[in-house]
Amino acid sequence: MPKYDTVIGLEIHVALLTKSKLFCGCSTTFGGEPNSQCCPICLGLPGALPRLNERAVEYAIKAGLALNCTIHEISRFDRKNYYYPDLPKAYQITQEFYPLCTDGYLEYFYGDSLARTKITRIHLEEEAGKLIHSGASIIDSDYSLVDYNRAGIPLIEIVTAPDIRSPQQARIFLEQLRLLLNYIGVSDTKMEEGSLRCDANISLKPLGSTQLGTRVELKNLNSFRALERALTYEERRQGEILDRGDKVNQESRTWDERRGRTLPMRSKADALDYRFFPEPDLPRLKLRPGWVEEIKSTIPELPMERLSRYEREYGLSRYEATFFVNYPDFGQLCEKLAAMGWEGSRAANLLMGEYARLAREKGHLTPERLAGLLEIIEDGLISSNQTADVLEELFNSNLSAREIVLEKGWQVLADTDELQALIGEVLQGNVELVERYRAGETKLYGFFVGQVMRATEGKADPKIVNDLLRKELGT
């Protein structure tokens, strides 16, 4: 029995997929020569003035709409002041007081139930540069290099309410959020390149209590796995502190992936006062009338809508529909096969099995070639356990499924007379076993089936074999 409720909130930074930076025309392409994508504005040189990127605002609004937020006609930029070598201006332009989007939510399936996590706010801000240390961290390095290519790339920060109840749910929420952002095309959400980053706060409170416990912030959660592991570790650590009757320290902790534990960060960062004030170089942001509606009309079908359409129109199970929603390339194939008249569950059966493994390795087959395979299964030309072999050949040759089977001589043996004769031989060769079977040793049945299949090199139609064999054995 757990003694505590776990309370988790997330802050997610998402790099927007614009061609240029938030306040200048510099390229946002990843992986360029260090410091080759900067200008006086993103380097914060004296006298350089920012100019807002309209596409970044559009993408932020699009994310806000997809997350059911209120989009504010008027918002404002503020300066967050602090010194760090990756921040050339010594302040970050963000939206502290009047964010662009507030009060939204994301719905998703968590286990069998529908969960809803509130989105407190989404605001626009600029990315910092990147430090490359000669050692493992800034403290034990002889020197650090700084690359400002990243400085000024547009970000949205998405902040959830403390609505999440477990480390597993946090992970699923983040996966669903990422999927949604991919669907609307505002970010490539590559965690490994830092275009999706997540911080979490977590606290425990006595079961059922309304009073929130002391919260700890977790940083450096660079993968879904790290998020879940760090929260799980922290949940246990805080539980043990409370069990002892001690108090949890309010602090920031970092996740040490290698050691599998959270460690306190130097507390100075917490004590910072950022001295926010309105950004004097930018006017307040006022959206032109009708723009939000225009953006709304460009939002495609979202994951949850697609999930229920797949269940409803194609009769897919929740599990199957989820697979196709999570892997839209597979979903598209399923839709094309359905459009050709194939039942959703037949298509799912084919696409989610051996095909998925092969396609991930070699790329997709055309829906026509897949339909050809479904057809010969339907015709009974091959049995379903031969599907994998035919698939393998489909990836390696230009022949159709039917041509492959005929050329290889893989067609199923469905000739009743021929099978009847074979069964007769098998039974005559095993007279003693047949008698034992008839005397009640029914587990021998599998042996007879095996003998027939072996005699036909596995090509006999299993249904016909069963029918004939049962008749012969008199059961």
Q: Give contact residues for Zn ion (rule: CB under 5 A).
A: 24, 26, 39, 41-42
CA distance 298 to 294: 7
Between residues 10 and 41, which has the closer beta carbon with respect to Zn ion? 41
Q: What is the nearest approach in angstroms of Zn ion to the Cβ of residue 147?
A: 13
Contact 183, 21 (CB under 8 A): no
Token representation of residue 324: 């196709």
The residue among 26 and 60 lying less far from Zn ion, judged by its C-beta, is: 26
Minimum distance between the CB of residue 13 and Zn ion, rounded to whole angstroms?
Answer: 20
Task: Select 24 or 218, whichever has its Cβ closest to Zn ion.
Answer: 24
Q: Which residues pair with 121 in a beta bridge?
A: 102, 159
In the chain, the N- to C-terminal Cα span, in Å, equals 53
Q: Which residue lies nearer to Zn ion by CB, 126 or 235?
A: 126
Q: Going by C-beta distance under 8 Å and a sequence separation of 6 or more, which residues neighbour residue 143?
A: 134
CA atoms within 13 A on the CB side of 264: 9
Dihedrals phi, psi of 95, to nearest 5 degrees: -125, 90
Question: What does DSSP assign to residue 22?
Answer: S
51 vs 247, beta carbon nearer Zn ion: 51
Q: Name the residue nearer to Zn ion (CB basis): 39 or 453.
A: 39
- Nearest approach in angstroms of CB 38 to Zn ion is 5
Residues with Cβ < 8 Å from 249, sequence gap 6 or more?
Answer: 214, 216, 264
* Length of the chain measured in residues: 475
Q: Which is nearer to Zn ion, 26 or 452 (CB)?
A: 26
In angstroms, what is the minimal distance from the CB of 124 to Zn ion? 16
In 10 A of CB 418, how many CB atoms? 13
Min CB(155)–Zn ion separation in Å: 15
Give the residue with the Cβ less far from Zn ion, 39 or 414: 39
Q: Output the six-digit token pair for 196.
A: 């999706």
Residue 53 C-beta: closest distance to Zn ion, Å: 11
Residue pair 238/204 in contact (Cβ under 8 Å)? The answer is yes
Distance in angstroms (rounded) separating the CA atoms of residues 127 and 64:
19
Place of tokens 């200048």: 24
The residue among 48 and 473 lying less far from Zn ion, judged by its C-beta, is: 48
Residue 27 CB, shortest distance to Zn ion, in Å, is 9
- Closest contact distance (angstroms) between CB of 342 and Zn ion is 52
Q: Is 166 exposed, middle or buried (0-12, 13-18, 19+ CB in 10 A)?
A: middle
CB of residue 361 to Zn ion, shortest distance in Å: 41
- With H, G, I as helix, E, B as strand and everything else as coil, classify residue 419: helix
Distances (CA, A) of 334 to 182, 319, 330, 375: 20, 14, 6, 15
